[in-house]
Protein backbone atom coordinates (compact mmCIF):
# COMPACT_ATOMS: atom_id res chain seq x y z
CA UNK A 1 0.00 0.00 0.00
CA UNK A 2 1.24 3.42 -0.85
CA UNK A 3 0.07 4.59 2.58
CA UNK A 4 2.67 2.43 4.34
CA UNK A 5 5.47 3.99 2.31
CA UNK A 6 4.38 7.49 3.31
CA UNK A 7 3.85 6.51 6.92
CA UNK A 8 7.20 7.28 8.60
CA UNK A 9 7.37 10.75 7.08
CA UNK A 10 3.79 11.42 8.03
CA UNK A 11 4.30 10.29 11.58
CA UNK A 12 7.31 12.52 12.06
CA UNK A 13 5.43 15.39 10.54
CA UNK A 14 2.36 14.76 12.71
CA UNK A 15 4.33 14.45 15.93
CA UNK A 16 6.32 17.56 15.09
CA UNK A 17 3.15 19.53 14.32
CA UNK A 18 1.49 18.52 17.58
CA UNK A 19 4.58 19.26 19.67
CA UNK A 20 5.17 22.63 18.00
CA UNK A 21 1.49 23.55 18.41
CA UNK A 22 1.59 22.62 22.10
CA UNK A 23 4.68 24.76 22.66
CA UNK A 24 3.05 27.63 20.79
CA UNK A 25 -0.04 27.37 23.00
CA UNK A 26 2.10 27.67 26.13
CA UNK A 27 4.00 30.62 24.66
CA UNK A 28 0.76 32.29 23.60
CA UNK A 29 -0.55 32.07 27.15
CA UNK A 30 2.61 33.76 28.45
CA UNK A 31 2.24 36.37 25.71
CA UNK A 32 -1.41 36.91 26.70
CA UNK A 33 -0.27 37.50 30.28
CA UNK A 34 2.25 40.12 29.13
CA UNK A 35 0.07 42.35 26.96
CA UNK A 36 -2.92 44.46 27.80
CA UNK A 37 -3.84 47.91 29.04
CA UNK A 38 -0.79 47.67 31.30
CA UNK A 39 2.46 46.36 29.81
CA UNK A 40 4.17 43.66 31.85
CA UNK A 41 7.56 42.31 30.62
CA UNK A 42 7.66 38.50 30.17
CA UNK A 43 10.09 38.16 33.11
CA UNK A 44 7.62 39.89 35.40
CA UNK A 45 4.85 37.68 34.02
CA UNK A 46 6.75 34.61 35.20
CA UNK A 47 7.31 36.26 38.58
CA UNK A 48 3.61 37.11 38.71
CA UNK A 49 2.61 33.53 37.92
CA UNK A 50 4.97 32.21 40.61
CA UNK A 51 3.80 34.80 43.14
CA UNK A 52 7.22 36.46 43.37
CA UNK A 53 6.09 39.88 42.08
CA UNK A 54 4.51 42.97 43.64
CA UNK A 55 0.81 42.57 44.54
CA UNK A 56 -0.47 44.65 41.61
CA UNK A 57 1.41 42.60 38.99
CA UNK A 58 0.38 39.43 40.77
CA UNK A 59 -3.28 40.46 40.72
CA UNK A 60 -3.19 41.45 37.04
CA UNK A 61 -1.31 38.34 35.92
CA UNK A 62 -2.86 35.75 38.21
CA UNK A 63 -6.42 36.95 38.69
CA UNK A 64 -7.11 38.71 35.40
CA UNK A 65 -4.91 37.61 32.50
CA UNK A 66 -3.83 34.03 33.21
CA UNK A 67 -7.29 32.59 33.96
CA UNK A 68 -8.70 34.50 31.01
CA UNK A 69 -6.04 33.03 28.71
CA UNK A 70 -6.80 29.55 30.07
CA UNK A 71 -10.51 30.03 29.40
CA UNK A 72 -9.63 31.11 25.84
CA UNK A 73 -7.42 28.05 25.38
CA UNK A 74 -10.02 25.62 26.73
CA UNK A 75 -12.86 27.14 24.73
CA UNK A 76 -10.71 27.25 21.58
CA UNK A 77 -9.84 23.58 22.08
CA UNK A 78 -13.53 22.68 22.53
CA UNK A 79 -14.52 24.49 19.36
CA UNK A 80 -11.62 23.01 17.38
CA UNK A 81 -12.56 19.46 18.42
CA UNK A 82 -16.27 20.10 17.76
CA UNK A 83 -15.34 21.35 14.29
CA UNK A 84 -13.37 18.17 13.49
CA UNK A 85 -16.23 15.99 14.73
CA UNK A 86 -18.87 17.84 12.74
CA UNK A 87 -16.82 17.98 9.55
CA UNK A 88 -16.28 14.24 9.96
CA UNK A 89 -19.94 13.41 10.58
CA UNK A 90 -21.21 15.52 7.71
CA UNK A 91 -18.26 14.73 5.43
CA UNK A 92 -18.55 18.41 4.64
CA UNK A 93 -15.78 21.02 4.83
CA UNK A 94 -18.30 23.55 6.18
CA UNK A 95 -19.07 21.48 9.27
CA UNK A 96 -18.88 23.82 12.26
CA UNK A 97 -20.96 24.23 15.44
CA UNK A 98 -21.77 27.78 14.36
CA UNK A 99 -22.86 26.93 10.81
CA UNK A 100 -24.81 23.81 11.86
CA UNK A 101 -27.01 25.65 14.33
CA UNK A 102 -25.59 24.40 17.65
CA UNK A 103 -24.36 27.87 18.65
CA UNK A 104 -27.49 29.52 17.31
CA UNK A 105 -29.52 27.32 19.66
CA UNK A 106 -27.37 28.50 22.55
CA UNK A 107 -27.86 32.09 21.37
CA UNK A 108 -31.63 31.91 21.15
CA UNK A 109 -31.84 30.29 24.59
CA UNK A 110 -29.65 32.95 26.20
CA UNK A 111 -31.28 35.90 24.47
CA UNK A 112 -34.74 34.45 25.06
CA UNK A 113 -34.02 34.15 28.76
CA UNK A 114 -32.78 37.75 28.95
CA UNK A 115 -35.83 38.87 27.00
CA UNK A 116 -38.52 36.98 28.87
CA UNK A 117 -37.03 37.59 32.30
CA UNK A 118 -34.55 40.50 32.14
CA UNK A 119 -34.23 40.49 35.92
CA UNK A 120 -32.87 36.93 36.16
CA UNK A 121 -29.34 36.66 37.55
CA UNK A 122 -26.86 36.80 34.68
CA UNK A 123 -25.41 33.59 36.14
CA UNK A 124 -28.32 31.65 34.65
CA UNK A 125 -27.43 32.66 31.10
CA UNK A 126 -24.64 30.05 30.68
CA UNK A 127 -26.95 27.26 31.80
CA UNK A 128 -29.55 28.37 29.28
CA UNK A 129 -26.89 28.55 26.56
CA UNK A 130 -25.63 25.06 27.36
CA UNK A 131 -29.16 23.65 27.27
CA UNK A 132 -29.88 25.56 24.07
CA UNK A 133 -26.87 24.07 22.31
CA UNK A 134 -27.84 20.53 23.29
CA UNK A 135 -31.49 21.05 22.37
CA UNK A 136 -30.53 22.57 19.05
CA UNK A 137 -28.21 19.67 18.23
CA UNK A 138 -30.98 17.21 19.08
CA UNK A 139 -33.37 19.16 16.86
CA UNK A 140 -30.95 19.13 13.92
CA UNK A 141 -30.47 15.41 14.41
CA UNK A 142 -34.20 14.73 14.59
CA UNK A 143 -34.91 16.85 11.52
CA UNK A 144 -32.23 15.02 9.54
CA UNK A 145 -33.56 11.59 10.54
CA UNK A 146 -35.48 9.61 7.92
CA UNK A 147 -34.87 6.04 8.89
CA UNK A 148 -31.24 7.07 9.21
CA UNK A 149 -29.05 10.13 8.89
CA UNK A 150 -27.52 11.16 5.62
CA UNK A 151 -24.56 13.50 6.06
CA UNK A 152 -25.93 15.95 3.50
CA UNK A 153 -29.34 16.04 5.16
CA UNK A 154 -27.66 16.58 8.53
CA UNK A 155 -25.67 19.52 7.17
CA UNK A 156 -28.69 21.09 5.48
CA UNK A 157 -30.92 20.62 8.52
CA UNK A 158 -28.17 22.30 10.57
CA UNK A 159 -27.96 25.26 8.22
CA UNK A 160 -31.76 25.62 8.30
CA UNK A 161 -31.87 25.48 12.09
CA UNK A 162 -28.98 27.97 12.30
CA UNK A 163 -30.85 30.39 10.04
CA UNK A 164 -34.07 29.96 12.01
CA UNK A 165 -32.47 30.45 15.43
CA UNK A 166 -30.30 33.36 14.30
CA UNK A 167 -33.44 35.05 12.97
CA UNK A 168 -35.24 34.35 16.24
CA UNK A 169 -32.38 35.87 18.26
CA UNK A 170 -32.40 38.95 16.06
CA UNK A 171 -36.17 39.22 16.38
CA UNK A 172 -35.97 38.92 20.16
CA UNK A 173 -33.38 41.70 20.30
CA UNK A 174 -35.16 43.90 17.77
CA UNK A 175 -38.43 43.73 19.67
CA UNK A 176 -36.86 44.21 23.06
CA UNK A 177 -35.75 47.56 21.69
CA UNK A 178 -33.66 49.93 23.68
CA UNK A 179 -31.23 48.32 26.05
CA UNK A 180 -29.88 44.95 25.04
CA UNK A 181 -26.28 45.21 26.21
CA UNK A 182 -26.24 41.81 27.86
CA UNK A 183 -27.88 40.05 24.91
CA UNK A 184 -25.68 41.72 22.31
CA UNK A 185 -22.57 41.01 24.35
CA UNK A 186 -23.50 37.33 24.44
CA UNK A 187 -24.11 37.14 20.69
CA UNK A 188 -20.87 38.92 19.84
CA UNK A 189 -18.94 36.61 22.15
CA UNK A 190 -16.15 37.78 24.39
CA UNK A 191 -13.91 37.00 27.30
CA UNK A 192 -14.31 40.19 29.33
CA UNK A 193 -13.82 39.40 33.03
CA UNK A 194 -13.62 35.66 32.47
CA UNK A 195 -11.70 34.21 35.39
CA UNK A 196 -10.96 31.13 37.46
CA UNK A 197 -14.61 30.28 38.00
CA UNK A 198 -14.98 29.98 34.22
CA UNK A 199 -11.80 27.90 33.95
CA UNK A 200 -13.33 25.45 36.41
CA UNK A 201 -16.59 25.56 34.50
CA UNK A 202 -15.01 24.43 31.20
CA UNK A 203 -11.99 22.23 31.91
CA UNK A 204 -13.88 19.03 32.80
CA UNK A 205 -15.66 19.19 29.45
CA UNK A 206 -12.46 19.85 27.55
CA UNK A 207 -10.59 17.08 29.35
CA UNK A 208 -13.25 14.36 29.26
CA UNK A 209 -14.68 15.40 25.90
CA UNK A 210 -11.21 15.68 24.40
CA UNK A 211 -10.21 12.22 25.65
CA UNK A 212 -13.39 10.61 24.35
CA UNK A 213 -12.89 12.37 21.02
CA UNK A 214 -9.34 11.01 20.83
CA UNK A 215 -10.53 7.50 21.57
CA UNK A 216 -13.21 7.61 18.89
CA UNK A 217 -11.14 9.58 16.36
CA UNK A 218 -10.43 6.44 14.37
CA UNK A 219 -14.15 5.97 13.75
CA UNK A 220 -14.12 9.35 11.97
CA UNK A 221 -11.53 7.87 9.60
CA UNK A 222 -13.87 4.97 8.92
CA UNK A 223 -16.91 7.25 8.47
CA UNK A 224 -14.92 9.21 5.90
CA UNK A 225 -14.98 6.14 3.63
CA UNK A 226 -18.76 6.42 3.27
CA UNK A 227 -21.63 4.81 5.15
CA UNK A 228 -21.68 1.60 3.08
CA UNK A 229 -17.99 0.90 3.46
CA UNK A 230 -18.20 1.77 7.17
CA UNK A 231 -21.05 -0.70 7.61
CA UNK A 232 -19.09 -3.28 5.64
CA UNK A 233 -16.23 -2.82 8.11
CA UNK A 234 -18.63 -3.64 10.92
CA UNK A 235 -19.32 -0.13 12.22
CA UNK A 236 -22.74 0.70 13.62
CA UNK A 237 -22.87 3.88 11.61
CA UNK A 238 -25.96 5.55 13.09
CA UNK A 239 -24.94 4.91 16.66
CA UNK A 240 -21.43 6.22 16.05
CA UNK A 241 -22.70 9.32 14.30
CA UNK A 242 -25.17 10.07 17.10
CA UNK A 243 -22.41 9.69 19.70
CA UNK A 244 -20.06 12.00 17.79
CA UNK A 245 -22.79 14.61 17.28
CA UNK A 246 -23.68 14.52 20.99
CA UNK A 247 -20.01 14.94 21.88
CA UNK A 248 -19.71 17.93 19.55
CA UNK A 249 -22.86 19.43 21.10
CA UNK A 250 -21.56 19.07 24.66
CA UNK A 251 -18.18 20.59 23.77
CA UNK A 252 -19.88 23.47 21.95
CA UNK A 253 -22.38 24.00 24.75
CA UNK A 254 -19.63 24.21 27.38
CA UNK A 255 -17.73 26.68 25.18
CA UNK A 256 -20.56 29.04 24.27
CA UNK A 257 -21.91 28.98 27.82
CA UNK A 258 -18.71 30.66 28.93
CA UNK A 259 -17.78 33.01 26.09
CA UNK A 260 -20.96 33.46 24.08
CA UNK A 261 -20.97 32.95 20.35
CA UNK A 262 -17.47 32.87 18.90
CA UNK A 263 -17.68 32.04 15.23
CA UNK A 264 -15.06 30.66 12.87
CA UNK A 265 -12.78 28.72 15.23
CA UNK A 266 -14.54 25.40 14.69
CA UNK A 267 -14.65 25.99 10.96
CA UNK A 268 -11.14 27.15 10.19
CA UNK A 269 -9.00 25.19 12.64
CA UNK A 270 -9.64 21.64 11.32
CA UNK A 271 -8.79 22.83 7.80
CA UNK A 272 -5.51 24.30 8.95
CA UNK A 273 -4.75 21.09 10.83
CA UNK A 274 -5.52 18.90 7.81
CA UNK A 275 -3.42 21.07 5.52
CA UNK A 276 -0.53 20.64 7.94
CA UNK A 277 -0.72 16.91 8.70
CA UNK A 278 -3.07 15.27 6.25
CA UNK A 279 -6.44 13.68 6.87
CA UNK A 280 -5.81 11.12 9.64
CA UNK A 281 -8.35 12.26 12.24
CA UNK A 282 -6.29 10.77 15.08
CA UNK A 283 -3.73 13.50 14.41
CA UNK A 284 -6.10 16.18 13.09
CA UNK A 285 -8.14 16.03 16.29
CA UNK A 286 -5.46 16.82 18.91
CA UNK A 287 -3.80 19.27 16.54
CA UNK A 288 -7.13 21.06 16.01
CA UNK A 289 -7.63 21.27 19.77
CA UNK A 290 -4.22 22.92 20.13
CA UNK A 291 -4.65 25.22 17.13
CA UNK A 292 -8.10 26.21 18.37
CA UNK A 293 -6.57 27.12 21.72
CA UNK A 294 -3.77 29.03 20.00
CA UNK A 295 -6.16 30.95 17.73
CA UNK A 296 -8.45 32.01 20.56
CA UNK A 297 -5.68 32.96 23.01
CA UNK A 298 -3.95 35.13 20.40
CA UNK A 299 -7.22 36.59 19.14
CA UNK A 300 -8.26 37.53 22.66
CA UNK A 301 -4.88 39.17 23.27
CA UNK A 302 -5.40 41.28 20.17
CA UNK A 303 -8.99 42.04 21.21
CA UNK A 304 -7.70 43.39 24.52
CA UNK A 305 -4.89 45.47 23.04
CA UNK A 306 -6.11 47.23 19.89
CA UNK A 307 -8.51 49.64 21.57
CA UNK A 308 -7.10 49.43 25.12
CA UNK A 309 -8.30 50.22 27.74
CA UNK A 310 -11.46 49.10 25.94
CA UNK A 311 -11.81 45.85 24.04
CA UNK A 312 -13.61 44.47 21.01
CA UNK A 313 -15.53 41.19 20.69
CA UNK A 314 -13.11 38.32 20.19
CA UNK A 315 -15.25 36.72 17.46
CA UNK A 316 -14.34 39.59 15.15
CA UNK A 317 -10.64 38.97 15.73
CA UNK A 318 -10.87 35.19 15.22
CA UNK A 319 -12.34 35.87 11.78
CA UNK A 320 -9.79 38.57 10.92
CA UNK A 321 -6.88 36.38 12.04
CA UNK A 322 -8.23 33.01 10.92
CA UNK A 323 -9.56 33.83 7.45
CA UNK A 324 -6.25 34.99 5.91
CA UNK A 325 -4.36 32.07 7.48
CA UNK A 326 -6.82 29.63 5.92
CA UNK A 327 -6.74 31.40 2.54
CA UNK A 328 -2.96 31.44 2.44
CA UNK A 329 -2.80 27.73 3.27
CA UNK A 330 -5.45 26.81 0.72
CA UNK A 331 -3.69 28.75 -2.02
CA UNK A 332 -0.11 27.75 -1.29
CA UNK A 333 -0.67 24.04 -0.75
CA UNK A 334 -1.90 21.71 -3.44
Partner 1 sequence: MRSSARRTTAILGTAVAAFALLLTACGTDETAVPTATASAQGTATAAATQAAPVGVTVTDLMGRKVTVAKTPTKIVTTSPSALEMLYAAGGTAIARSSTAAAPGIDTSKMTDIGSAYQPNFEAILKLQPDLVVADASAQAPLAGQFEAQLKGVPVVFVGAVKYADVATSIRMLGLVTGTAEKAKTSADAIDATAKQVGDAVKGKTATKTLVVVAGRDGQLSAALNDSFIGDMVKIAGAQNIAAELKQSGQVPGYATISLETAFKDNPDVLLVIVPGNTPGPSISSIVARTFPNLNAVKNKRVHEISLDIFLQAPGPRAADGLKELTTFIQPDVKLGAAVVPGY
Residues of this chain that interact with partner 1 (CB under 8 A) are 3-4, 7, 11, 14-15, 18, 22, 36-38, 51, 56, 58-60, 62-65, 67, 70, 73-74, 114, 118, 122, 174-183, 192-193, 195-196, 199-200, 203, 206-207, 210-211, 214-215, 217-218, 280, 282-283, 286, 289, 308-311
The region that residue 36 occupies, defined by phi over 0 for left and psi between -120 and 50 for alpha, beta otherwise, is left
The CB-side HSE value for 139 (13 A sphere, CA atoms) comes to 20
Long-range contact list for 223-227, CB < 8 A, 24+ apart?
223/88, 223/89, 223/91, 224/88, 224/91, 224/279, 224/281, 227/150, 227/151
Could you tell me if 300 and 286 are in contact, meaning their C-beta atoms sit under 8 angstroms apart? Answer: no
The CB-side HSE value for 197 (13 A sphere, CA atoms) comes to 6
Least distance from partner 1 to the Cβ atom of residue 55, Å: 8
Could you tell me if 43 and 52 are in contact, meaning their C-beta atoms sit under 8 angstroms apart? Answer: no
Amino acid sequence: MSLSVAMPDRRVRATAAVVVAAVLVVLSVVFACAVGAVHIPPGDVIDGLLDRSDPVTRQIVWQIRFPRALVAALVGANLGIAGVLLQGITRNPLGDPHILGFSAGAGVAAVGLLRVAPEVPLALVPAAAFGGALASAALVYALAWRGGISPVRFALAGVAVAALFTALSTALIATSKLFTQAALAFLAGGLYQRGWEHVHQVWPYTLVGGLIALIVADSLNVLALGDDVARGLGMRVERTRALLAALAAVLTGAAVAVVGLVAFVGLVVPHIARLLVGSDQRVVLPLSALLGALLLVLSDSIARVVVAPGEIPVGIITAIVGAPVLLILIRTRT
